[in-house]
Structure 1
Amino acid sequence: EVYYTLYDKQEAVQVHVYQGEDPDALRNTEIGKFTVTGLSKVSANNPVTCRLDLDLNGMLKVTATERRTGLEKHIIIDNAMSRFEAEEMSAASRRLRVLFGDTDDRQPPSEDRGTVAEQDRQLDPTRTQAHAVVRRARDMLGDIPPEDQEEVVNLIERVHDALVSGQLDQAEGAANELEDIIFYLEEA
């Protein structure tokens, strides 16, 4: 990824490293930061390239290089994949409680649409099947290995969101993915 300085004669840039899937980096978790100093005293738009290298041991090396001079600084983030696992699992658990009505944070259903469960009974078997898969996944969530929990939570959310918005094809697709994961986990 290439970034550019904002000011003429800018001598330093600060690099922030975030972990997460939200397109807005500030909604993700910051896992490291460092400053590159000694940049060339040139006009704005001096390119600085950032490279991220993740090895099999979960070590993330982030390197920032000034293209003009080759000046390079880096940071190594140990255990980048699981560093904030507890925080992420807590957030995922909160999202699930909200999805399934286990908290007071939920919005009441609109009068014209009813609850998703009521729609489920009124419409077609796709909804019933999707809800059954979500219930199975939710029931076994505590027994799922940490490396698979986030994917399961994300699929549960995708199924729920698709059902609420009436996108049955998407709900069915996400439910099938979730069912495949459940099958794999039950066989393991």
Structure 2
Amino acid sequence: MSTSSYLPASTVVARPAPTARRKPSQGIPPEKRAAVESDKKAKKKELELELEAWYQTSKDLSVELSKKFGRQPEYYLRLMFSNGSKLQASRKPNAFNAWVHHKAKEVNENAVCGSATLLADIQQDSLDDYHKLSQAEKLTYVKELEEERDSRGSSVRLTQRRRKQDVKKVCEQVEDMAIASVSNFSTASS
């Protein structure tokens, strides 16, 4: 079997000119490197102290808002640092979902990873138990699930990076609200 090509064979016309070798960099002297590192550590420590003071001020403000408007301080902290619009739009759990969640945790508590019982099976096996529950018991399951969700949503920001992301997100939301209010004001005045 023969192969034929209609294109000319590629050839190298010229070799690239060799570049002049660079001199190795001198590097930073150890004394200067130590000074730079100590400055960096001092700035980082100062930033952490400033952020901690700001966070403490925010916590104090949330306590004041709690006294003034009657909700828990954690609610206002979530509004300030987490996505407040998402918090307002979140759905509350119903009694059945809270009960199934509790049952699933109970059944799969000691299960090996990958061998958990299916939720549909749990529902099917113990549906009669749900119908026998009193309103008070259903309410306790709902409260339990709400507390678990709250604990997931309002954890302490442990890393510097996460705190920076929180600040950035809050600033973006403030900018969005400012832009929206300016655009609404300009359309209302015209």
Specify the structure having the higher radius of gyration (Cα).
2
Report which structure shows greater RCO (CA 8 Å, sep ≥6). 2
Structure having the higher helix fraction is: 2
Bin the TM-score by the shorter chain: under 0.3
After TM superposition, the score normalised by the length of structure 1 is 0.25
TM-score when scaled to structure 2?
Answer: 0.25
Instruction: Determine which structure has the larger strand proportion and give its number.
Output: 1
